[in-house]
Amino acid sequence: MLRLLREDAGLTGAKPGCEAGECGACTVLLDGQPVTSCLVLAGQVDGSEVMTVEGLERHGKLKHLKHAFADEGAVQCGYCIPGFVVMSYAAIRDGKASDIDGLKKALEGNICRCGGYPKILAAVTASAESGKGGP
Amino acid sequence: MKYSHIKLLSPGSLDEALAFLHDHGAEARIISGGTDLSVYLKDDLVKESVIVDISKVKELRYIQEADGMVKLGARTTFSDCLGSHAVWRKATFLNEAAREVGSTQIRNLATVAGNVCNASPAADSLPPLYALEASVTLRSSLGEREVRLDEFILGPRKTRRSADELVTEVKFPAVDGHGNRFRKLGLRASQAISVVSVAALSAVDGWRIAMGAVGPTVVRAADAEEYLDRNGLTQASLKAASELVARAAKPITDVRGTAEYRKRAIEALAYQCLYDILYGQEGT
């Protein structure tokens, strides 16, 4: 599915990282639930709704999150960020970002090789607070 | 395309899935959540020419509690398990194990039945399922059979599933929410394959302790179980029981740890499991 999104649909937000489901850079929402798109066969999503980071932006779902990431300087090289944003969106939506331990658990499947976790966690926490009820 | 030689069949019902397996089983692999098979595909380890995708077989996605049994349909994901009151109340340590599987993204895809069929000795769900004396239901277009889990799994990636069969259900007797515990040691807290794991259960008819990643299959610690049945679990029996658990482990040395380290880790995890059961710390 990751290749279909990037090479056929031109949606390059989801990134190929480990391509083994371990890094979370390719996270998208499949029928609303976050999954690593590198592990899903394109043929398996026939009839499903796939929401990438581009879709979240287009539907106005990232108002707070994207500003929070910018304000906190949460982006270093940026490669992991689309995956973090999709996963953070789901975590806030599902009420898992209200305390730091819950948020860390929710983001356990996303790896940042720059090691920029403190600022990412700060950004998501700030977004969860400013959003209150919506990411 | 890298996989263009492989044909994907996508049945929409169980009957259709069984018909596909009847016709193509010998040259087919089954995909469900895909968290294992997609990695094998990427690494060019899939030699079969057909993949049967059961992810659209919705009738297999259920968790039922009836007649003292908890039944997990083959499409039950680890996220489904975590959201299930029945699993939490009736097999808390399976819930604890489900929490240790991969990440949210993986748990949304990966299924319990897939974890069973992949038959990794390090699979997180297997020690609790062995302790629960779970069984699997296999269906083919010709009939149905039930096989005990410890007989179903033969070794790493090897099971008794015939080419035309599909595992449709994993089921186990409901146990009380108290008196069971799962502990896992990974190289990091999240997203890690087990170095070793232990599941302990104080069932009505006796103790059951199972260990992961210490042999080609999950292993029960029979001597420790017998010792606890005879002496009961007390502060005094805790240490000796944990040593007996470690003695039953026959680990190997690999990238995740040496055999010697695994033995010591097993003893520590067994001690923690039993300690938590003794002092009522389960499910925390």
H/E element, A89: helix A81-93
CATH number for the domain spanning B231: value is: 3.30.390.50
User: Could you tell me if residue B1 is inside a domain?
Assistant: no
Whether residue B105 and residue A41 make contact (CB cut-off 8 A), yes or no, is: no
**Rounded average pLDDT over A116-128:** 95
Residues B42 and B73 in one domain: no
Confidence check: pLDDT of B162 > 70: yes
Chain B nearest C-alpha distance from A71 (Å): 27
Chain B nearest C-alpha distance from A2 (Å): 12
The amino acid at residue B159 is T
Question: Which DSSP letter does residue B155 get?
Answer: E
Q: E-assigned strands of chain B?
A: 7-9, 28-31, 50-53, 63-66, 69-73, 135-140, 143-148, 153-155, 158-159, 166-173, 180-186, 194-203, 206-212, 219-220
The alpha carbon of residue B94 and the mean position of all alpha carbons in its chain are separated, in whole angstroms, by: 9
End position of a domain, from candidates B173, B189, B218: B173
Domain chopping of chain A, boundaries: 2-52, 57-131
Confidence check: pLDDT of A133 > 50: no
Chain B interface, mutation test: which of A22, A31, A40, A41, most B Cβ atoms within 10 Å? A41
**CATH code matching the domain that covers A2-52, chosen among 3.90.1150.10, 3.40.50.720, 1.10.3720.10, 3.10.20.30:** 3.10.20.30
Confidence check: pLDDT of A134 > 60: no
What does the block give as tokens for B100?
């240790």
**Rounded average pLDDT over B115-137:** 96
Residues B229 and B158 in one domain: no
How many domains does one find in chain B? 3
What does the block give as tokens for B126?
């297997």
- pLDDT class of B284 with cuts at 50, 70, 90: low
Residue A65, sorted as left (phi over 0), alpha (psi -120 to 50) or beta, turns out to be: alpha
Measure CB to CB from residue A40 to each of B34, B42, B189 and give the nearest one.
B34
Percent of chain B at pLDDT > 70 equals 97
CATH number for the domain spanning B162: value is: 3.30.465.10
From CA B271, how far away is CA B43, in angstroms rounded? 38
- pLDDT class of B254 with cuts at 50, 70, 90: confident
User: Average pLDDT over chain A, rounded to whole?
Assistant: 94
> Would the CATH topology of A2-52 be identical to that of A57-131?
no
CATH fold of A57-131: DNA polymerase; domain 1 (1.10.150)
**Rounded average pLDDT over B182-206:** 89
Domain, as residue range, for B67: 60-173
Place of tokens 């008196």: B179
pLDDT tens for A19-72 read: 999 999 999 999 999 999 999 999 999 999 999 999 999 999 999 999 999 999
End position of a domain, from candidates B119, B152, B173: B173
Does the beta carbon of B284 lie under 8 angstroms from any beta carbon of chain A? no
Backbone angles phi, psi at A7, to 5 degrees: -95, -30
